[in-house]
Structure 1
């Protein structure tokens, strides 16, 4: 026996490892498959892992060789020089496994004089890793069944496996849960709630956290307690909980309603107005009713009335939306004047004439008493006098009517040359001075008769229509009259003074604030307010925005105009290897130059290539006096524009033209107009 062991030691020293069970190395110990009669390990048949912690996995290698044992020949003896296949046939025991779990481990070639070898001689060494996954504290027993086969000989043996599993870790995982969460409901069922829950432990470092309401679940309205736990490999469990409160604080959304304007009054109380009440929808309650006050079909008084529409969702959330209903009185009274009448003169002054009273009826004010001039009972001169009657309602709507009173006395003078109606533009707040050529009058008796017109030529006429009445009277008191109208109108819009176009530098991603002060002056109204959109002081987005301004005088004449506000980003660069400040960068034609730059909107740096316009390359006449500086670094590869997140800058590899001795301006611009240009010359 001593001789055989010494022989093995010499073999092992030549570099062969054999059957050891342990975490670090292997040596002959157990589970050697023997040939000859019986399959028995050389020394013992057990593999002990000793004491193992719960949650750990331990691997020990078993080195397997072929042992000579028994007669030199027989049915249980391997042939000289045979190749023996070793295989795992079965594995038992909780957590016990091998690699491979079953089947061939490998082969061992026996010496050509195997049958002449002494008993207990071992040859070959195949490593079989045996694993133990310790999941439950307590004793573990199991076995690994092995077979050795060559030709008709198939020998079997069993390796016993044992271990004691103990709970080395008694500390539960530490949970990291959110604090109390408040989430707005998104529907009748509540809201989808997402959160992050983690745990820390020695083994594993981050155990899985399980919650009875997982992240992403829909939680109902109200407070829900979410309970969570995590268990480590040693079976220690940590627990915790937090509260998620789903609330409904958003009121219903009421549809907008257009203002109702220009409703004509039908009576003293205003007018009955009907409208379509808006609908309303709530995220939780769905469609909810809307009540409006005053209600549709109610009588709305003269003027502007605000209608308030209210909707509640049943959770105490109420929304309101308003619109305006304007009832106006623009209809003048209906005026009835007496028919024209003729009276005979009673003296050289004419005649006292009494005529029937005029009447007027208004839809809002009812009966109105008109005023007429000249008044009934007045002395009317010879000739025809026009009586003007006026009726004005409380809304200042005026109806005017005329009739004539003729005091006859033979043939009155004939008036000729009455000017046609005159329309002129107002020149100031008082209207305009209007001059005209008065008519002339010829009487059959008196010849030329003076004609008087009122108002007189050259006087100031107010804005509106003024009747100029001209009359001629003969010595007998026969009077002829004629009239025309002078209409002073205001059709000239205000004079609008706008600022010049502005170019601003962006102060942030939203753009920049622009201020401006437009002015407008009207011939009649003087200074009038100017309205601009967008307004002065607004934040203008990056790019060019057209500002539209208008000014309207009291006559409704509107002047409009616009100017532009351009907000631009800033470009920083080009950076090295490119020199700026009018320096001409010299570079070999056909090489590639990296153009590096940054784009800012205020302190915010842009990173997307979509804001960069096309790279421009323009040949120009070289400046012989410009300083030169060679490009020290060139590039290769893709020439497309990209943003280098590592360097924090844009990069465009510009492939220079191959022609030597030419100068180029290479520029890069943002879509909003910021530009940077560098100069190059090919060599």
Structure 2
């Protein structure tokens, strides 16, 4: 306390002498929470009230009940007060209301999704689900697995849910189906060449190698099959394999059989014989015929003379 002497008058300049105003205490806004039953309880916390005083600084308020506290269903008044050094007290009040909310949020899942894949997997995304609630705003849905995940061949259920502040929950389910459109890869043997002394020869080969993006243990079927008899000349063999999604892959190779009995084809031999007949036999016959005809003609001329 400070004293100032002015002549014979002593003035006390302590703030408690001239401070006659109570602090101003500013409470937070009313607080509202929701639970889903009468037995619901909520731990509620709030920011400290602001305190303004005409003399003192750095005053703080005390609230009853304090923050944080447990609140039950219903409305509870919270009183916050602050006292300055002059002994004046200011206060404010707000309410904490715990209400019952038994209504679930509403949400709608996307329609079932189908995608094609030739690799065995596909990344699938969907739109953000809209969530509505009778009390809360800005709710969002969570999905398992989430949008943007990689899905394997087949069907996968996606479950999405949304929960409000009262603990009420809604969920929905949709299906993501990935279709296998990849053909098996069939690798044929190379060209097969055989020699034969007979009209036909039996030819066998190793099974074609088959791989697939989903299925394992696939085998190929060849037409004609391995172990078949092949005639002389060139024959194409087609091998194919089909996976569990009915995708078919194929490959083709050639079997060449050479006839060992003659290095000259039969048709060529026949052609040579015909040509030799024309060249050797036909000119001789014509010459003899002309000679006979010429001799008869001379004889006839002598007889007439």
Band of TM-score, shorter chain: 0.3 to 0.5
Superposition TM-score, scaled by structure 2 size: 0.48
Q: Which has the higher strand share?
A: 1
Greater relative contact order, per chain length (Cα 8 Å cut-off, separation 6+): 2
Q: Which has the higher helix share?
A: 2
Superposition TM-score, scaled by structure 1 size: 0.24
